Amino acid sequence: MPEPLKILYAEDAPLTPLQGKTVAILGYGSQGHAHAQNLRESGVKVIVANRRESNNGQLAIEHGFDPVSVEEAVKAADLVIVTLPDEVQPEVYKKSIEPNLKAGGTFYSQLAVPEDVRKTAGQADRSIPFAITAMRSCGSPVTCAR
């Protein structure tokens, strides 16, 4: 018989590792706004990257954030969480994220690995999350999150 699911509570996931850190949420859509608000309400410093003039950028402003560029957010962040649409993530990664990652930071994105990035990183497995392959391809000492 399979083991029952374990219910996790706040005390099972302490925020201590995020104390004094800056988290960048890239994109303020359906996932990004929830992550940004929950982390901020939990006392974590959050930066939102989104186009100010877009509907989601305006929503971020209404929610008390000051949206900045992806480049600016990544440069300032200890943890980068990508919540952009899947189809734009590879291009945004190459153009705006990869050149601005700081050593020792953490990057998280759950996305199928684009063929060109897999080839560059020497990965053949399509199931490897983009974050892991991207970190290997950038060659910087960044922690990969899955």
Domain 20-144: homologous superfamily in CATH: NAD(P)-binding Rossmann-like Domain (3.40.50.720)
Which residues neighbour 5 within 8 Å (Cβ) at sequence distance 6 or greater? none
Q: What is the dihedral of CA 94, 100, 101, 102, to 10 degrees?
A: 160
Domain limits, the chain: 20-144
According to DSSP, the residues that pair with 81 across neighbouring strands are: 25, 108
Segment 8-24, tens digit of pLDDT: 887 888 888 888 999 99
Predicted confidence band of residue 49 (pLDDT cuts 50, 70, 90): very high
Looking at this protein, which amino acid is placed at residue 128? I
Residue 92 confidence (pLDDT): 94
- Which residue intervals of the chain are DSSP H helices? 32-41, 55-62, 70-76, 89-92, 115-121, 130-138
Segment 111-136, tens digit of pLDDT: 544 555 545 544 444 443 444 333 33
Summary mean pLDDT of the chain: 80
* Lookup: tokens for 113: 């690995």
